[in-house]
Chains A and B, each alone.
Chain A
């Protein structure tokens, strides 16, 4: 054997050994992958929660939100939001679901339902402690209760027990709120963003869908979503009716959904809607919107911006957004105006230390100053507010604009309210809160007591537009000392009892009750720049009206808010009145909660009246009527599409449309691509194909074993690495 032969033999042996090891390793890797993937399939899906949904079964864990459907109808300025969610327990044990969600601004939760044994069980409102006791008693016997409580001013908490291993649970929540009018823009916010959800996965595993129907007496000219842009499909069915739809898979439940639409002109004057159930006094909702009475003031104004830079402002990017808000506001100032910026945490810091004219140079300095601020420390607003008052000039109006989350120290609140009441005569205080983690009651009260306004912005909103709208309010005089008189009818329980100032573009809604049907007159008197202004309207108070039942609960909710804002809200008479209102009108409050029981017999057993079941049935009937009306408008819009006068076109039933879009209910699309409102697709290879593939793989392995080589000719036409080319 010569040297070359020895070398070749050694080399071949080495090659064979190396190839053998490589093959074994490769086989092990392949088998490991296959085993791992099948194991993954067999094992429960790792828990990935959405928002603040957690399994509170004593061992931690997070549940999944499988789907989240939101249906919103805005009619007569009142938004009805219906949220249907499907939860999935991904764990192999029985758990209690705990779901915390933010309360929308000015919203009243009016229903909570759960699907038990395939049937929707509507909840009932009870005094909070009693509801909790009933819930706990069911929990012990491991049966099906659900509980919805108001946790604080900004959050609701829902508990459901038990959710069995791998089981699903469907829940539905309905709430009413006033649409947020600002001049000619109406904004709707579906709040999802919360600080406390940080760090948790915030996606639905399945569908997140939202559908909004906006109906307005004044024509709608455009609709947009500042938060989700072109993800929303927007359709104009009629001048007075727009529809918007959003549907995604793996929807983000940690971001507010904001939709805004513009009406052809600012809604001004007095509008009234009614609700009159049989054998009860009636309800009305009056919307006052100032128009031409408030002409723009030519004189310059002074502005002091108080920017909160405490540690809590770092959450949710609140500081960044507040900074952008001030920048947008300052950009809108004219050379006649003067301004100053004060940042504060535990102590205030001023920018100019005097009021500076709003020129280019000072605006640039302000921008640099704002950019250099970062969030840290606690919040002590009082010294900053008192510093701001020092900028008062006898001849000019002073506007103090506070941008804060209102998360001040508890013991400071009384001082703040005192500071507000001691403000200079020509000073107004305005509050702007950004995000959902804002102390709305405090900021609202500060602004109200100071004759100003509070604005709460979503992170997903258009800040430039909001800043412009806010500035518009400030540059126009307000209607002060607003009074309203009713003649020819007995009206009572007006809310708010004390009329607030009326600003340009910001309507004031008054809820009240009336004794009997009548043709009455309402006269509004107010003071604008020292002169008296009068507005009159005729009210045709009906004997019966079932079209707007929402305003009954809105009235009750307003009354609860008024009672909660009393100096001693925990006094017995106040809490018992809140409980009476909560139970009577089926609204969740600080003292009342929703409870869902397994069946009607269980409600009877606990002697719980089915008040809410009746109210929900009544509300749903009213909404169905509205739904039919909207459907008619959609059908009219569809009928006008395509060539008119062709055979079969007139009166064509859109239900026969086979274009793939959901007929009647689906908007006509303005987005770049049509969106069917569904269309989630996929394709697993399936058991048949997988078997074929496995057989082919086994065949390949056998052939390799037999030949010690490759199973067949190279499919790519490449020469074999081990066989010499013939």
Chain B
């Protein structure tokens, strides 16, 4: 009886929401709340003057603020799709990558674009995640597919470089009149994603090399 009872008991499982799901949910909830609350937009957007006065949270929170619902829609759907492409992998490192990328982008804007006083949007972070996804596919694909991913990576690198060099060349969708595209955000985001992926890949490469080392297996006597 005891044995039968034991058989019917399902194995114990821990419910975990993957980080690649948690990240877009968090982004959607926070960004929607901000979008519906104009006072929060002003308090959270990237504002160069306020950051220099010590409001450092804007380095991260600015990426959750948008110029309007169209801008919001574009950025949020891109984030959701990217996380969809990544999940259920990614782990907590994807959150670290997104946050790290956000800070990196904001610092890049501060240094490279000193005239950009206010910045809003998640596109830079999205470009970081995009670089991450393409690189992950590239690393895992057989040669013909890898060539396609390499081409895609190159195309995206050219695209973000163009955004940086000529922000008006490719018309931006979702930005209200009077707001210009901040190309450095895309550029910095893309290369931040690449850099973080490479840094993350490094310990795994070392581990794999260690595992691949031939072991001496002695013949039975």
- Which positions in A face B, CB cutoff 8 Å? 3, 6-7, 10-11, 14-15, 18, 26, 29-30, 33-34, 37-38, 40-41, 43, 45-46, 48, 66-67, 201, 203, 205-207, 230-231, 247-250, 252, 660-661, 671-676, 678-690, 692-694, 696-697, 699-701, 710-718, 720-721
Contact = CB atoms under 8 A, between A and B. Distances in A.
Interface string B98-109: 000000000001
Interface residues of B, number: 95
A686 B170 contact: yes
Contact of A715 (B72, B73, B197): B197
Nearest to A6: B7
Contacts of A674: 114-115
Nearest to A4: B7
Contacts, number: 252
B3 A3 contact: yes
A34 B25 CA distance: 11
Contact of A205 (B68, B124, B126): B68
Q: Which 8 A-B pairs have the closest CB atoms?
A: A712-B140, A41-B73, A717-B204, A715-B136, A681-B182, A684-B174, A683-B123, A679-B117
Given A682-B121, A683-B172, A38 B178 contact: no
Given A250-B41, A675-B117, A716 B90 contact: yes
Contact of A716 (B10, B41, B172, B200): B200
A714 B89 contact: yes
B130 A676 contact: no
B178 A67 contact: yes
Chain B interface, DSSP helix/strand/loop, else mixed: helix
B117 A201 contact: no
A10 B135 contact: no
Given A682-B71, A710-B88, A721-B88, A689 B127 contact: yes
A206 B71 CA distance: 14
Contacts of A3: 3, 7
A710 B25 CA distance: 21
Given A206-B178, A694-B81, A45 B68 contact: yes
B85 A699 contact: yes
A443 to B, nearest CB: 33
B42 A230 contact: no
B80 interface: yes
Interface in B36-86: 36, 38-39, 41-42, 45, 48-49, 51-53, 66-78, 80-82, 84-86
A703 to B, nearest CB: 9
B143 to A, nearest CB: 14
A684 B115 CA distance: 19
B132 interface: yes
B118 interface: yes
Contacts of A66: 176
A7 B12 CA distance: 12
A687 B177 CA distance: 18
B204 to A, nearest CB: 3
B84 A38 contact: no
Q: Which of A66, A690, A720 has the most CB of B within 10 A?
A: A690
Nearest to A726: B211
A11 B90 contact: no
Nearest to A27: B84
A667 to B, nearest CB: 14
A207 B135 CA distance: 40
B33 interface: no
Interface in B106-149: 109, 113-121, 123-124, 126-127, 130, 132-137, 139-141
A41 B203 CA distance: 42
B30 interface: no
B49 A681 contact: no
A66 B197 CA distance: 41
Contacts of A694: 81
Nearest to A201: B38
Nearest to B163: A683
A683 B86 CA distance: 22
Interface string B140-162: 11000000000010001001000
A712 B141 contact: yes
